Amino acid sequence: MEKEVIPRKILSGWISFVRKCFFRVLRVGPIPSHIAVIMDGNRRYAKKKKLEEGVGHDAGAFALLCLLIYCYELGVKHLSAYAFSIDNFKRKPEDVKKIMDLLRECIPLLTRIVKHRPIRVHFAGSLELLSADIRIPAKRLMEATADNSKFIFTLCVVYTSTDEIMHVVQESCKEKCDHIPEIRANDASNGLLGENGDSHQGDQDLIKLVDIEKHMYMAITPDPDILIRTGDEHRLSNFLLWQTSCCQLSSLVTLWPEIGIWQLVWVVLNFQRNHHYYGRKRNAAVDLVNGSYSSSSPPSQS
């Protein structure tokens, strides 16, 4: 047994050394701040390997934890993973149970990981739809890691982008309605109300972009620079629809449990090659929102 363990440790150390060398070379170029992933192909992986279907999800969870470590070592600041859609509740009960069991198991594993690394863990979505034995430990982990800022790992569970946008609209409207009496009282004291009792500062009653974005489930992260989907799929599947207008979409033939350092290196190299293009697109989008275009400098069509 000892003879088997020693070569394994040496091999593990060698692989770690090679990985860090690759990452050091990659860091010469721009590193994406935020990588988001849609994990597709767990069941196909199990079928390919002639394993029980649930084993594919186990392998997928392990691949996610490995990717978390790789991104942390590379210098990525944010990693977000689409773990469970609200629509997934429509799947077979045994499939739903398997994912929920994995969530229960992953929370203690994440707790161990953050003990040795300053990682903040965030769960995004309608968490009230989770059972208490998952929701409560998840919230405790979020609270325990809230002060960590070097790396933020977001697990999107019971999440869809349309649900997020609906939540944002409801919260923004509620906030504005709560503040309208205060605004009108202030205007009245300053003589700013019109003849019909309307405020001359009516724009304060309007919902602005900043109001929307602060209520997002994903408010603690910037928009992703890269969205990776495995399994040769090319759909967003109701994930980060608001946040992905100017990000690189990478569809990999690789099944999710098979994703590793080489796929990450390839995606980051492709990002570096197109960095200036996506940077221009993002800056143009920001300028358009801020209304900073002049008639002499229309938005780029490149």
Active site residues: 40
3-state secondary structure of 186: helix
Q: HSE-up of 153 (CA within 13 Å, CB side)?
A: 26
Distance, in Å, from the CA atom of 83 to the CA atom of 241, rounded to the nearest integer, reads 16
- Answer positive or negative: Cα dihedral of 218, 87, 98, 235: negative
Question: Rounded to whole angstroms, how far apart are CA atoms 89 and 94?
Answer: 11
Tokens of 293: 């275009």
Contacts of 125-130 with C-beta under 8 Å, sequence gap 24+, read 125/84, 125/86, 125/156, 125/157, 125/158, 125/159, 125/163, 125/164, 125/217, 126/86, 126/158, 126/159, 126/163, 126/167, 127/157, 127/158, 129/86, 129/89, 129/158, 130/100, 130/103, 130/157, 130/158
Q: What residue type is assigned to position 106 of the chain?
A: C
Give 251's strand partners.
Answer: 229
CB 188 within 8 A of CB 195: no
Question: Would you say the C-alpha torsion 197, 201, 207, 212 has a positive or negative sign?
Answer: negative
In degrees and rounded to multiples of 5, residue 152 shows phi and psi of -120, 120
Identify residue 173 by its one-letter amino acid code.
C
Neighbours of 205 (CB within 10 A): 14
